[in-house]
Structures are given as structure tokens and as C-alpha cells.
Amino acid sequence: MQRRHALVVGQLTGVWLLGSAGLPSAVGVVLVAAFARSTAGLVVGGAVVAGTFLLVLWLIVKATAPASVLGGTTGRQVWWVLLVLGFGVALWGFGWALTDEAGLGVSRNGALTLLCSGIPFALVAGVLLRGWPIRLTAAGTLVALVAAGLVALARSAPALPPVAALPDDPPYVVSIPGYRPTDPSFGGVVGTRTFTPTDPAAIPQLRWITVVAYARQYAVTDPGPCGETAYDSSLRIAECTAEPDGWVYRRGVVEHGYQITSGQTLVVVAGPHVVDRQVLRAAAATVHPASPAELTALSFEEQQGIFFASSPGYILRKQGIPPGVRLEPSDPAASPQSVVIDVFSDLSEDTCGAATCTSEPGGLLYRRTEDTHGYVIARGHANVYAMGGLRVDKALLRQAALDARPATEDELRRSLPPPPPLSKNAMSRLRDWLRG
């Protein structure tokens, strides 16, 4: 009896030592071969590891054959070796993944790794020992450990995704009465960079008049008052109304205007609906082929087929696609940008640049350009700007510059994009299943 007990202890100890010391070493060998990117090294390393395990297990079962129900013959001993190795490795891998996913920290502790790595092999060998009491004890221990691991997994919290790094120099944010930031990620009311009025009616509508010429050879003839129409015109699909003097007014979904015939050219004068119909008609009445001096003034350089027009309160700009000209309001206060506020900071020592600047009490610098004005104030090593269009109240910009402050940590974290979701592995899906 004492000899049998000694064989049992010897077999379980040998198997446990093989799993505790041999398996982590074997994993290290395989990883080194994998990182070396050597297929031959990986194959050879894997073969050496598998061969070593099979040999050691064979020696263990040969030396302790009477202790196992599979130790009587060579064939049964081979089955013992395969069962202990196969189930031992499978249970070891399952336990490693489960404890990692449950956050138990076994794999991060060297002593626990050495202690626990051999347990699956010893328990599988225990199930194959002679005598039902010890076999049931090993099986019960195995079931209890797996159940405890599953409970720990079900109660564990999923791993948090990586947190994006916060900037060393946070942006300056502010809340401006009557305005909202176009980027609401800092909290909706508080923001940085571009601010627009909360009342859409306070934003001037965009106005322009385009003058574009088209070859008549590509025109189409529509029924009714539209008649001959430039095929690629913005007014190609429009409702047409004949006016008493023979002009044809065209109203599309987005734009409206007139078409003028000049020799073999059709010239379309159009603008958004906010531009008055009579303004477009008056501009169309001034359409004429651009002179060499006019072409040079807008840098058209030898480009042919360009027509110009004029309208009070508008200035000409070059338009690239389609080639032509664009009349825009000459008053900067008439554009939507005239009511926009921009709050930002920089490290430049030249805060004035090409602008006109005036120092004011409290360390403020009033800064004005052709179409913007606002304030600059030094905050440590940074200069904070609150610049706005010409229709923005000067006092409002002054207060925005004074109120601007570095974003808090909570505001920064709120503004960062959400981290990418973690990919689901087998253990995380098992946790979800356990939780129902």
C-alpha cells in the first residue's frame, strides 16, 4: 500500500513539475522561433518541444505504471501519455485565457504561473489513477476549479478600451451669450474655434451672381417660353416666364436668373433666390465680352469666351469651374462670415501681423483687419484670440477674450473621439453568454 501511495505521489508530482516548469519554457521556445520569423525554426522548435513532452510523460508512466488504470500494457500507456498531454494542454490554455479575461492576474505573477501551470496535467493524471476515491477527488477538483473560474469570469468587468492621450496644451474654450460652437463636443455651450449665432435669422444669407458663357452649338430647345437653353447651365431645368419686353426669367430649385444671347454664345446670369430678381435682370443688362484689360485684371491670361457684368454693391471675382466670373457683395458685413466668431490660441510673438492693433487696459490688444476685428490677450506662454466678423459686437468679443480658459480634463475627455471597440474573443463571448 505504501509503495502504491509513493507511486501515486511520484506520478502526480512528476506530471505537475512537467507542466509547471516545462510548459512555460516550451512556450518561450516557440515564441522565440516565431519572433525570429523562421518557419524552419518554428517547426523544429515545436517538434523538439512535443518530443520532449512525450518522452518525459512516457518515462513517468513507465516508472509509475501500477498507479494508473492505463499502466498495464504498452498500448494503454501510450493512451495515458496522449490523454495527459492533450487534455493537460487544452485545460492549461483554457485556464490561462479564462484567468486573463477575468482579470485574476495569474499570468502576470511568476510564482502563480509556476504553481498553476502544472495543475491541469496533475488533475488529468489523477482522473486516470487506480481507485475511485482518488479519481473522483481529482475529477471533482477539476470541475470545482472550472466552475470557480467561470463564476469569476461572469462577475468580471470587460477590459476597458485604451484611453486617448490628453494634449499637453489644452485648447482655450469659452461660452459666448447668443452664440453656439459649431463643434459641440466640449459640452454644447462651451467650445472653441468657430461660433455662430444661435438665431439662424441673425446670419446673413449668402449672396452671389455668376456670369458664365456657353457655346450655342450645345444648346437645347425647350418648349414654351424657355426656348433655346444652355445645356450645362444651372438654369437648365427651370420654370420660365416671358416678360413683356421679351426677356425670359428662369427660376430653378436653387438659383434663378436670365440668359443673354451674344452671337454664338449663351451667357447665363444667375444667383440664389435671396438675390432680388430685378438685381439679376439689371446685371444681365450689363453683360459684355471681357476686354483684354478686364481679363488681365482678374488673371484670366489669354482665356477666351469670358463675359463680364456689373451690379451696384458687388465686386467681380474670378471663377474657375465653370470658367466665368462671380459677383460678390463688396461690403464684408453682408456675408455670413460677418457674424462668425473664432476663438483660438497660438504661440506666435507677432500677434498683430498685417492687422491694425490698439492696446487697451487689462493687457488686451484690439486687432482689426479688412473684414475682421477682435481682441488678443496673453495667457502664460500663449496668446488667446477672440476674432469676429465686422457685424459682431466689439464688447462681446472683448468679454470672450477675457472669459476664454483652458479646457478642463473632463471637457477634453468629452471632446475626444470614442475609442475603437475592442474585438470580441472567445472568452469575452463566453462571459456574455454566462451573463445571459
Please write the tens of the pLDDT for every residue from 108-144. 777 777 788 888 888 888 888 888 888 888 888 888 8
> Where does the pLDDT of residue 236 fall: very low under 50, low under 70, confident under 90, or very high at 90 and above?
confident
User: Which among 374, 346, 372 has a CA at the least distance from the CA of 360?
Assistant: 374
Residues 29 and 149 in one domain: yes
Residues 256 and 345 in one domain: no
Query: Which of the pair, 420 or 409, is modelled with greater confidence?
Result: 409
Residues of the chain above pLDDT 70, percent: 90
Residues 215 and 289 in one domain: yes
- Greatest alpha-carbon span in the chain: 125
Assess if residue 436 is contained within a domain: no
Average pLDDT, the chain: 84
Assess if residue 165 is contained within a domain: no
> Where does the pLDDT of residue 203 fall: very low under 50, low under 70, confident under 90, or very high at 90 and above?
confident
Residues 85 and 99 in one domain: yes
Is the per-residue pLDDT at 99 higher than 90?
no
The pLDDT value recorded for residue 17 is 83
> Where does the pLDDT of residue 395 fall: very low under 50, low under 70, confident under 90, or very high at 90 and above?
very high
Residues of the chain above pLDDT 90, percent: 27
CA distance 417 to 282: 51
Assess if residue 164 is contained within a domain: no
Assess if residue 86 is contained within a domain: yes
Q: What is the DSSP string of 286-311?
A: T-EEPPHHHHHHTT-TT--S-EE---
The pLDDT value recorded for residue 189 is 87
Residues 329 and 340 in one domain: no
- Confirm if 38 and 141 have CB atoms less than 8 A apart: no
Number of domains within the chain:
3
Assess if residue 151 is contained within a domain: yes
Assess if residue 160 is contained within a domain: no
Residues 344 and 371 in one domain: yes
Alpha-carbon distance values, 395 to 71, 173, 334, 347, 375 (Å): 95, 18, 20, 25, 10
Assess if residue 343 is contained within a domain: yes
The pLDDT value recorded for residue 270 is 95
Long-range contacts of the stretch 184-188 (C-beta < 8 A, 24+): 185/414, 185/415, 186/407, 186/411, 186/414, 186/415, 187/411, 187/414
Residues of the domain holding 314: 209-333
Nearby residues of 312 by Cβ (< 8 Å), 6 or more positions away: none
Assess if residue 182 is contained within a domain: yes
User: Which among 270, 330, 323 has a CA at the least distance from the CA of 298?
Assistant: 323
